[in-house]
Structure formats: C-alpha cells, structure tokens
Amino acid sequence: MLRLIGGAVAVVGLMFGTATASAQSTPTLYFSAIPDDDETRLMERFGNVAAYLSEQLGVPVEYVPVKSYAASVTAFRNDQIQLAWFGGLSGVQARLAVPGSQALAQGDEDMKFISYFIAHESTGLERSEDFPAEAKGLSFTFGAQTSTSGRLFPEFYIREETGEAPDDFFSRVGFSGDHGQTLRLVATGAFQVGALNYTVYDTAVAEGAPEAETTRIIWQTPPYPDYNWTIRGDADERFGEGFSERVKAALIGMDDPELLASFPRAAFVEASNEDYAPIEETGRALGILD
C-alpha cells in the first residue's frame, strides 16, 4: 500500500514537473495600448481582449498598462511588450525603433480618422465647415504630445489653415495627456478650445456625459490614417513560424460586439506599414520625428 502511494506521489510529481516545464516553455505574449483614456477604463477594455487572444493563439496573453504614449513605445522597443494597439504616430515610432516590426491590423475606420476641435459653450463658437479663425487668441489644449489625433494632425491643420504656429495663433497652449482629459479641461473652461479623437467625444455624447453638455464641436479635420495593431519583428522567432500571421488573423477575426466596442471599432481589417507613410511624412515635417 505504501509502495502504491509512493508510486502515485512519484507519478503526480512527474506529471507536475512535466506541466511546469510545459508552462515554462510557452512564452507569454505581452501587449499594451496607448493610454488614450483613464486607466480604469483601459483595464476593463483590454482585459477581455487578452483573454480572447489567448484563446485564439494558444499562448498566455497579458495586458500591460503604460502611463504615457512615450512609455508604450519604450516598452515595445525594450521588448517588455511584443504587440501593441498604437496610435498612428506612436506606431510609426515603434516600428522605426524595432526593425522588421509590422502593422497587422487597423480599425475599419482608421484610414479615415478625424479629430474634433471643441470649444467651451462660453466662447460662443459654433460648428463650421471652415477652420474656426475666431478661436485666435483663445486658450487651447492638445492631448498627448505624441498623439496622432490629439496633437499631430491638429497641429498640422492649425499651421495649414492659419499660417501660424499654435503658440502664435492661441494665447496659451497646453498638453492634457489624453483625450478624456482634453474633454474635461475644455468642459470646465480651464482651456477654451481643444482637439481630440472624435470617438472619445462621440462616446461621451452617446453616454450623456456631463462634459458634453458644456462643450460643442466647432470643426473637424480632414481624414487621415490613425490607430493600428503592431507586432515586433522578432515575434515569429520567439513564438514560432507564422505566429504574426496568426495574430493578424485573430485580430481581423474579432467579431464579438463587446470586444469591438472596447476600441471602439466596427471591425478590424488588414494593415501595412505603407498605410502610415503620411504620418511619418507629417511627423518629420513638424520636427516630431527625426
């Protein structure tokens, strides 16, 4: 009886050792996303995405929060994450930092993304198809310094439409850090005008957020390419041949409305590095990219 128990323990030990070795031999895929909203909402949004990807790919997947757009690029460069939901500019920065990295997928909306310019109701500014020249001399806030929709293209169009730098056109220029904070700052009157991702504002309106009650859209930019899923160039070496293509297939195949609402996107479609050439060109023209 003792021999049988001892044998059973040995077998259990062998099984446990095998399972441990197997677990150790399966690397974890770490992914992150630019912090374009507050951290609590981001954790809710991407925890379920991690579970979906893990099921589809057959490897452990973990979401890693980051504190800033720059931190997401740094984490990608330092191999702390291997996959990321980047904005257009941060995606370009990440791919330049890690040779061979590829944009895999984008939202169906992302090749025709727009930014809203919003104003506090006290300004008296109304929505127009023309750039709001009446905003000259007011205070203005961008989002994060390396945000495509919160800084890059809003600055490009301010210069394009006014012939002036933002610091010359507006009385005061700030950087809020993220789109949600831009909305809050304009809603309280801390800044009179701001630029932000249109999906953040539309979501606030749909949810009846109080910030939407004291602000209004005054102008929207022409469309440009934006968000994208990007994977490191060495992912196949780590996870096995064809892994990047499997990740792409999992992203494009994501059809759960609740998961897609996390972004929010109607669907994901294939993307390539070449899709984001206009962002690289604009970033270099504005001196944001070397």
Q: Which CATH superfamily is domain 26-110+225-277 in?
A: Periplasmic binding protein-like II (3.40.190.10)
**Residue boundaries of the structural domains of the chain:** 26-110+225-277, 114-220
Amino acid at 35: P
Count other Cβ atoms within 10 Å, centred on residue 263: 19
3-state SS, residue 32: strand
**Tokens representing residue 100 in the block:** 């061979």
Q: Evaluate whether the domain defined by 114-220 bears CATH number 3.30.300.30.
A: no
CA–CA separation, 147 vs 221, rounded Å? 15
Quick: pLDDT tens for 106-163: 999 998 999 999 999 999 999 999 999 999 999 999 999 999 999 999 999 999 999 9
The string of DSSP codes covering 225-266 is: ---EEEE-TTHHHHH-TTHHHHHHHHHHT---HHHHHTTT-S
CA–CA separation, 285 vs 104, rounded Å? 26
CA–CA separation, 166 vs 153, rounded Å? 12
Domains 26-110+225-277 and 114-220 share a fold: yes
pLDDT of 6: 39
Amino acid at 261: A
Residues comprising the chain, all counted: 290
CA–CA separation, 3 vs 32, rounded Å? 51
Count other Cβ atoms within 10 Å, centred on residue 138: 18
Give the pLDDT of the chain (290 residues) as one tens digit per residue. Answer: 333 333 333 333 433 344 444 445 789 999 999 887 667 777 878 999 999 999 999 999 999 999 998 999 999 999 999 999 999 999 999 999 999 999 999 999 998 999 999 999 999 999 999 999 999 999 999 999 999 999 999 999 999 999 999 999 999 999 999 999 999 999 999 999 999 999 999 999 999 999 999 999 999 999 999 999 999 999 999 999 999 999 999 999 999 999 998 888 999 999 999 999 999 999 999 999 97
pLDDT of 14: 35
CA–CA separation, 181 vs 142, rounded Å? 10
**Tokens representing residue 118 in the block:** 């919003």
Question: Could you tell me which of 90, 87, 30 has the C-alpha nearest to residue 60?
Answer: 30
Amino acid at 216: R
pLDDT of 242: 97
Q: What is the dihedral of CA 161, 166, 168, 170, to 10 degrees?
A: 100
CA–CA separation, 138 vs 140, rounded Å? 6
pLDDT of 16: 37
